[in-house]
Amino acid sequence: MTLIAANSMGSSLSRLDGRAKVTGTAPYAFEHPVEQPSYLTPIQATIAHGRVTAMDISAAEQLDGVLAVLTVFDAPKLADTSDGEMCILQDDRVQFRGQLIGAVVAETLEIARQAADLVSVDYAEESHDTELCADHPRLYAPEEVNGSFPTDTSDGDADAGLADAAITVDATYRTAIEHNNPMEPHACIVIWDNASGRTQVTIYDSTQGVHAVRDALAPLFGLETDQIRVVAPHVGGGFGSKGAPHAHNVLAILAAQRISGRPVKFAVTRQQMFSLVGYRTPTIQRIRLGASRQGSLCAISHEAFTQTATVKEFAEQAAVPSRTMYAAPNRRTSHRVVALDVPVPYWMRAPGEAPGMYAVEVAMDELAVACDIDPIELRIRNEPDVDPDTGNPWSGRRLVDCLRAGAERFNWAQRNASPRSRRNGDWLVGSGVAAATYPATAMPGNAARIEYQADKQYAVQIGAVDIGTGTWTALTQIAADALGCPTESIDLQIGNTDLPQASVAGGSSGISSWGTAIVAAVRAFRDQHGDTPAPGASVTTEAPDNPDAEKFAMYSFGAHFVEAHVNRDTGEIRVPRMLGVFSVGRAINAGTLRSQLIGGMTMGLSAALHEESVRDPRFGHVVTQDLATYHISAHADVRDIEAIWLDEVDEHANPMGSRGAGEIGIVGAAAAVANAVYHATGIRVRDIPIMADDLLA
């Protein structure tokens, strides 16, 4: 693949959208100016399974300022009801607690909330099941798991390899339900307009992909895609939960259809996010490792058990990383799911890899202890020459370099191998390590448009979305390098379905996919218009397929190092120091890359020590519905955190030589924390988040 020269790329160019954001002039979904807005408040089911038998809306309708009340008995009909999550208000069935069963639209948000409280709902309640267990009688093998990966794989004979191994680890690891909590909750403004005789719908949405929203919602309402326009210039975080529209978008459109002509504004509250917009499924994972006394793996078995919803299947790919991470002649992975009376799980930063690598990397630490081998050396001894899953050569696997560079920077050589061997007053001190991996992908179907304007300015258009990661800045740098001009000469236009097609900001694929499209458009522009184009000269081009994608195994890698302090009397855990060393190809923007990596590491720390959504099985709902009871890592928890990366270019990945870095930072971070806690205390905790009482044995 022909690379572009890096001039602007790699520098820490300040965020081009930074001033607008800090001065409050960058419009987020709920803030776009519209005339005569109305406000929506949803009505949600208060049972986990059953039917709605009656909804008394008379008191709500009599309240001054109420414009419309929607119920399961009178809502507009959808043209396509095949998607169980999106098919709301179409019948009286209740499939989970918190399901949308109605809405009130009013002149103000306060009136809408009051009216929604006045709606009386009667139910015919049925028994429900919301608890995941590894021996659940309704466990099944899905046809495939998230990412279109095969459900099960088998190479060699894992059982025989385990039976013949000199050293074995056989342990079960559990990860908790986690909920995405971006700073900006999910929100949208919808305008349904029939004035021209042909329906036109405008949606200002907080989304990771404007075209994904349009393409998913149009069939539900029997519309052509050109009848829907989606706008999202600025998004306040997503972490995967905004990777596709959810039922709240459908509810807002149904309401806008009912009061055609007036905008409907709907911002999901923090509490409502715990039932409406997806979450990371809890996992139960059994890992079995077999090795020689020298630590060479002879067998890996990884069984993952997760939950899905009765209304729609989502099978998380937790065991997939074990197919590629380490060399072993005998490998087996499997996934089993159970459909429960719960909301649909969905993407959360590094779905599959984050919980899956937690289990694998803690198991590797247990194997290192069993073999009496340094955990870094154990990983190095099990480095595969080629991708164990496909047999393809790596486009660049520098995990060993990450481990060694991190060990030197972290002063790993001074570590005493024995657990519970170091103290600082009342605190037990330990250190842990874990490896990380994440696939380097690019999505198909992306296109970009280049137009030369007066005064040596170029308009660069693509329907990409910046969810706070720095897309405005990184794509400007890529375009400037490809065109050979200063970044000031680039007028980047993104976040609108009026612009050329772009994939979702997800799977760490955004910059790779969109940047490739921009480079392709620049090359086509030069071919057609030369180096001295006339004002108005333009070209629109789709990104070509990468011929190396099928020839090479493309992954990013990393190594996490953590120091943990555990109070010997209370079990309190503190993490004063974290280091991540990563191999992610060329850095597009050093500043935003560092932000992405330390952000992921912070989420890994949060998963290890704090994050857990608690579902009450008696009533079926999550009881930790705010940021006071759903704990996340705060400033006081994040102390000395450092992220660095290797100086490299991946010539096979894309024309920029980069690989995605949005998710690699979270992968393995929780395992490094757990391994450091074990080293400090000598107590092996296999379930996260780790609680103080886990360490008081």
Q: Is 663 a catalytic residue?
A: yes
- For the chain, how are helix, strand and coil distributed in percent, rounded to 5? 25, 25, 50
Token reading at 332: 């087996």
Cα separations in angstroms, 2 against 449, 649, 655: 20, 12, 6
Token reading at 354: 């984050």
**Which of 178, 353, 451, 663 does the annotation list as catalytic?**
663
Enumerate the β-bridge partners of residue 457.
453
Token reading at 367: 């194997």
DSSP 3-state of 544: coil
Where is 170: in which H helix or E strand?
A: strand 167-175
DSSP 3-state of 400: helix
Enumerate the β-bridge partners of residue 202.
191, 229
Residue identified by tokens 């419009």 is 27
Angle in degrees, 0-180, between the axes of helices 471-483 and 510-529, rounded to the nearest 10: 30
Task: Say how far apart CA 264 and CA 260 lie, in whole Å.
Answer: 9
Nearest to 265 by CA among 70, 496, 34: 34
Token reading at 237: 């975080």
Nearest to 287 by CA among 296, 295, 299: 299
Cα separations in angstroms, 604 against 360, 580, 644: 15, 11, 17
Task: Say how far apart CA 73 and CA 252 lie, in whole Å.
Answer: 17
Measure the CA dihedral 139/143/145/148, to 10°.
180
Active site residues: 663
